[in-house]
């Protein structure tokens, strides 16, 4: 049997902010409109604050660029139907791709730096392979939500190359793959793409002399995590908000959740990153940044998916388990103020017992229920948790579900919150997981054709109670049944029933995860 092998494949641009320059417009040393200046071509997602930060190191100097290009900026704004380029008191708010701006007080040399040119880039074209060859320890953290993916690379630097001529630069771009040979039943070479990262932390220590590179998966446009923004979002959806933020950050959006309408929400001096994280959390959605993408999905929906594999106790190198009832709940009591009548409305969801209290601002009962369900379900994910270390298995990624067996009462279905890959003394993965609990029910809001929306069935639901929730009368349950007869009957047969009927009651048998149209 051939030995198992795991190694790294790394691409490294060797320069500062080159990731931002790729496909992102940029500086040129061409003819400048003023002595000691260069030009920059605006790309989608740019703003003057970000451009000033790129060239001057401070976004607060954006007015210098505005004043040097006032005629160009204002003419472009008028050409696009704006009275001027201002938004509130901010000059030059409106920019369009293709505008060529003078960057006063900069030279061709600084242009090279902004575009990622460096002496190390010129003298060492295969820096990625060099990093991989000198790596003594590596870790990659894949989180389902709440943070960007990250890497840590420890390099042996006996020759002091990284301390000297190859000194790494903050803002340089790293692409990382883990290459496995003879890892599974196959003898083929397999690769696991960790993604693309921006170096944001560099440290040295000795003896022996070593260098540690810390990288995080963030959009090339640094404003996503650094520029405070004030904005009022009205009559929109979470998907549309995320789409606009992704476009400004110069990344794509992956959205896998129902449509959640937002009547009005204030973004008050928050970065787009912090604002979008908090908005998703408020409505029970996960969000992460991975490989130049903003990823958003419905956690309850992913918890309902099938497990990708079964992990036996004998597969585990080590494990620990924790269970608690502190901070977990059977249901939720929520109060919200009706925006039309200004009266306080009280709603109860879930089962009697340990009740979670929520007082929230909401545009209506439906919006309040969504927020309440998200809060109590998030709390309950801490009820039963495990830390498991295993020999690496690329089938397991954050947001997947796995089955645990061989641990008696701990057995069951678990959701993967975080995976930490480690290379050094072998290749292992540390899993942070929680046992999937029955979620507190909430309406699932997506458009389902003219005049309708959808609802995802949770354990304990029946058509009578669903009809009562939406129509105020359980007696109207047949309207929902007739609109979903194919789905309901197919699901019943899949679970071994001849039909969904119990006696004369249609749609008696429902299963968690069914998506029903509410006509």
Enumerate domains of the chain plus CATH numbers: 5-15+119-216 (2.40.10.10), 18-114 (no CATH), 223-301 (3.55.50.10), 310-435 (no CATH), 453-518 (3.10.350)
Mapped onto helix, strand or coil, the DSSP state of residue 395 is coil
Q: Would you state the pLDDT for residue 219?
A: 65
C-beta neighbour count of 471 within 10 angstroms: 15
Annotate 394-413 with b (16+ C-beta within 10 A) or e (fewer). eebebbbbbebeeeeebeeb
Q: Which residues of the chain have pLDDT under 50?
A: 15-35, 108-125, 442-451
Q: Would you state the pLDDT for residue 47?
A: 85
Q: Would you state the pLDDT for residue 285?
A: 94
Q: Contact at 8 Å (CB) between 70 and 48? A: no
Q: Contact at 8 Å (CB) between 174 and 12? A: yes
Over 454-502, what HEC string results?
A: EEECCCCCCHHHHHHHHHCCHHHHHHHHHHCHHHHHHHHHHCCCCCCCE
Q: Would you state the pLDDT for residue 205?
A: 92
Residue 100: DSSP 8-state: E
Measured CA distances, 176 to 24, 147, 162, 215, 392 (Å): 21, 18, 19, 10, 16
Q: Which residue has the tokens 């690379």?
A: 153
Measured CA distances, 358 to 263, 266, 326, 334, 373 (Å): 20, 20, 17, 5, 10
Q: Would you state the pLDDT for residue 107?
A: 56
Residue 57: DSSP 8-state: S
**Which of 79, 82, 89, 100 has the alpha carbon at shortest distance from 28?**
100
Q: Which residue has the tokens 């047969």?
A: 493
Q: Would you state the pLDDT for residue 287?
A: 93
Residues with Cβ within 8 Å of 198's Cβ and at least 6 positions away in sequence, in order, are 19, 171, 172, 173, 174, 215, 216, 217, 218, 220
**Which of 279, 287, 278, 274 has the alpha carbon at shortest distance from 261?**
279
**Helix ranges restricted to H, 163-202:** none
């Amino acid at each position: 049997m051939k030995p198992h092998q795991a190694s790294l494949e790394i691409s490294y641009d060797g320069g500062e902010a080159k990731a931002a320059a790729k496909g992102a417009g940029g500086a040129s040393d061409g003819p400048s409109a003023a002595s000691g200046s260069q030009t920059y071509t605006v790309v989608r997602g740019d703003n003057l604050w970000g451009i000033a930060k790129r060239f001057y190191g401070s976004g607060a100097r954006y007015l210098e660029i505005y004043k040097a290009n006032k005629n160009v900026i204002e003419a472009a704004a008028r050409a696009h139907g704006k009275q001027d380029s201002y938004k509130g008191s901010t000059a030059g708010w409106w920019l369009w791709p293709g505008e060529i701006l003078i960057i006063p007080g900069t030279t061709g040399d600084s242009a090279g730096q902004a575009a990622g040119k460096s002496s190390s880039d010129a003298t060492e074209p295969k820096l990625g392979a060099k990093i991989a060859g000198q790596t003594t320890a590596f870790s990659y953290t894949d989180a389902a939500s709440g943070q960007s993916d990250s890497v840590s690379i420890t390099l042996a630097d006996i020759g002091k190359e990284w301390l000297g001529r190859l000194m790494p630069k903050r803002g340089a771009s790293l692409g990382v793959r883990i290459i496995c040979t003879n890892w599974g039943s196959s003898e083929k070479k397999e690769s696991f793409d960790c993604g693309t990262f921006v170096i944001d932390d560099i440290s040295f220590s000795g003896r022996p002399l070593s260098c540690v590179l810390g990288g995080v998966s963030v959009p090339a446009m640094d404003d996503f995590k650094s520029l405070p923004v004030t904005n009022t979002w009205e009559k929109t959806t979470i998907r549309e908000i995320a789409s606009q933020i992704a476009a400004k950050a110069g990344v794509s959006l992956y959205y896998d959740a129902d449509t959640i309408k937002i009547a009005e929400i204030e973004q008050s001096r928050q970065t787009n990153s912090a604002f979008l994280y908090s908005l998703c959390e408020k409505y029970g959605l996960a969000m992460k940044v991975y490989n130049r993408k903003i990823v958003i999905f419905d956690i309850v929906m992913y918890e309902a998916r099938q497990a990708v594999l079964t992990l036996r106790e004998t597969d585990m190198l080590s494990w620990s388990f924790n269970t608690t009832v502190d901070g977990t709940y059977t249901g939720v009591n929520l109060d919200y103020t009706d925006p039309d009548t200004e009266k306080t409305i009280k709603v109860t969801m879930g089962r009697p017992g340990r009740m979670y209290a929520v007082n929230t601002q909401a545009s209506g009962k439906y919006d309040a229920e969504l927020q309440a369900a998200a809060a109590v379900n998030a709390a309950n994910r801490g009820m039963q948790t495990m830390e498991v270390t295993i020999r690496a298995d690329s089938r397991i990624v954050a947001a997947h579900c796995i089955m645990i067996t061989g641990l008696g009462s701990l057995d069951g279905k678990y959701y993967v919150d975080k995976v930490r890959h480690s290379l050094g003394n072998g290749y292992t993965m540390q899993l942070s997981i929680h046992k999937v609990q029955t979620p507190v029910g909430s309406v699932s809001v997506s458009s389902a054709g003219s005049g309708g929306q959808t609802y995802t069935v949770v354990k304990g639901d029946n058509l009578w109670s669903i009809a009562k929730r939406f129509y105020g009368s359980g007696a109207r349950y047949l309207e929902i049944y007739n609109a979903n007869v194919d789905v309901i009957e197919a699901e019943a047969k899949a679970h071994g029933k001849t039909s969904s009927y119990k006696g004369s009651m249609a749609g008696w048998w429902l299963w968690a995860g069914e998506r029903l149209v509410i006509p």
